[in-house]
Structure 1
C-alpha cells in the first residue's frame, strides 16, 4: 500500500509548462545540461534532434510530419554517444536542440498512451513490480525505458522497429509501440510544439527492468483505454529515415 501511495503521488504531480526543470525525479541539479549528462551517464546513447521554431520544426523540411521529434542527422545511429564531452560540445554549439536516445543499443522503450501508462504504473506499484526510468510526453504519451533485447543470435527471433511502424503509418499504431533496433525516442528535457514537454517522471538513474516484466500490464492497460484513443494524430513516435 505504501508503494502504491508513492506512485499515486508521482502521478498527481502537475505536468504543466514547468517541464523537467522542476521534476522531483530528476534529483539535485535539474538543469537541462545536468539532465542530459545524467542520461549519458546512465548509458543512454544521445544525438541532437530538431526543436520547435515558432509553430513549425527547426528543420528545413516543408510540412515536417514529426516537428521537433526527429534527429538532426541522417547518421544518428552512428552519431549517438554516451561520451559526456561530446554531449557537452553539442549543448554548447546547438543550445536549442532537443536530444534523442537511440534504442536497441543499451535500452528499449515501451511507448504507450499517457492514460494507459498511468493506469499501468498504479497496477505495477500495487503488485510490487519495479519499473525503470519513465518519461512523460505531454499531453498524450508515456515512455517506459527497459533493458534491450539487442540483436539476438537468431535473427528470426526478433525484428527491428522498422517492421512495426513508419512515420507515414503512425496513425495505425495508437497503442503500445516497442522501440528497439533502428528506432529512437526524445530524451528529457525536450520541447515540443504548442508548449508540449518531455520530462522525467522516474529518473534515468533507475535500473532498467526486463521489458517482459512490464509488457503484459502495459498491453492490458492499452486495451482498456483503446476506446478512448480514437483521436491519435500525434500518438506515435517516428523512426529515422
Structure 2
C-alpha cells in the first residue's frame, strides 16, 4: 500500500474520532481547532468570520448588520481563504470566538436547501446508494451539501451560468435551493449563530467523506425542495438543454 493511501486512511480514522466526540462543537478550543483543521484537510479553504454578540447582534461594527455572525471579517476573504494548517491555527487561537467561512467555487461548491427538504433528500440519496459527501446542518433551518465545484473549468469559455447560483448578496432571492459557487461562501462547522447559545452550524456527515459531483445530487434535491414548497414555483433545472 502506498504512503499516500496510508495517509488517507489515517486521516479518515482521525476525523471519525473527532466527529464521534460527545462534546459541543463550540466548546474547548482544541475541539474547535480539530474540526477546522479537518475541514481544511479535506480541501475546504477557510477564512475568519464574525461571531454572535449579545442578543441577535454581530461582532462587526456595522449598525444593523443584515447577516449577523454569518459573514467574513475581511473584504479580502476570497484571497485570504486558505487550507494552510499553520495559518488556520493562528487565526483560531488569536480569534477564539470567531466563526469561519469556507469560500466556494475553487475546490468545492455547496448546495444549500431548506432543512425538511434536505433531510428528505438525504434519506433518499443514502437509500439509493448515492455517494453523498459532507453535509452540515444550520440551526437557522438549512442543510448544506458539500460537493465538487463546477465553477473552475480548464477552459474559461466553458463556464456556464446557472439560475441557482447564490452569492451573499442574493441569498434572499433563493428561499429554496441555493447553489454556492464562485464568489460565495458558507459558514463551516463549528460555527455559532445569533440568539440561543445552542444554535450552531454542525456536521451531519463530516469532511472525511469524499466530495461528490453536484449533478449526482441535484435532481433529488430540487425534487425535495418542490415537495416541501408546494405554493412556490420550483426552480427549474435545464437538464435537457
Query: Do these two structures clear the TM 0.5 threshold for a shared fold by scoring above it?
Result: yes
1:130, distance to aligned residue in structure 2 (A): 1.4
Gaps of 5+ in 1: 1-22, 230-241
After TM superposition, which residue ranges in structure 1, 4 or more long, deviate above 6 angstroms? none
Q: How do residues 94-133 of structure 1 correspond to structure 2 at under 5 angstroms?
A: 94-133=95-134
Change (3 A) 1:81 1:128: same
Question: Is the 8 Å Cα contact of residues 134 and 204 (structure 2) preserved in structure 1?
Answer: yes
Tell me the equivalent position of 1:40. Answer: 40
* Bigger radius of gyration among the two: 2
Question: Is the 8 Å Cα contact of residues 25 and 200 (structure 1) preserved in structure 2?
Answer: no
Gaps of 5+ in 2: 1-15, 26-30, 233-241
Tell me the equivalent position of 2:192. Answer: 191
- Count of residues paired in the alignment: 207
Aligned residue for 2:161, secondary structure, equals: coil
Q: Deviations over 1:40-87 (max 9, x none)?
A: 111110000000011201001000000000000000010000000000
Q: How do residues 22-171 of structure 1 correspond to structure 2 at under 5 angstroms?
A: 26-27=19-20, 31-54=31-54, 55-152=56-153, 153-155=155-157, 157-159=159-161, 164-165=165-166, 167=168, 169-171=170-172
Question: Is the 8 Å Cα contact of residues 47 and 71 (structure 1) preserved in structure 2?
Answer: yes
C-alpha distance in structure 1 between counterparts of 2:41 and 2:159, whole Å:
30
What TM-score do you get using the length of structure 2 for normalisation? 0.79
What TM-score do you get using the length of structure 1 for normalisation? 0.79
Higher relative contact order (CA 8 A, sep 6+): 1
Question: Is the 8 Å Cα contact of residues 167 and 185 (structure 2) preserved in structure 1?
Answer: no
**CA RMSD in angstroms, aligned pairs only:** 2.4
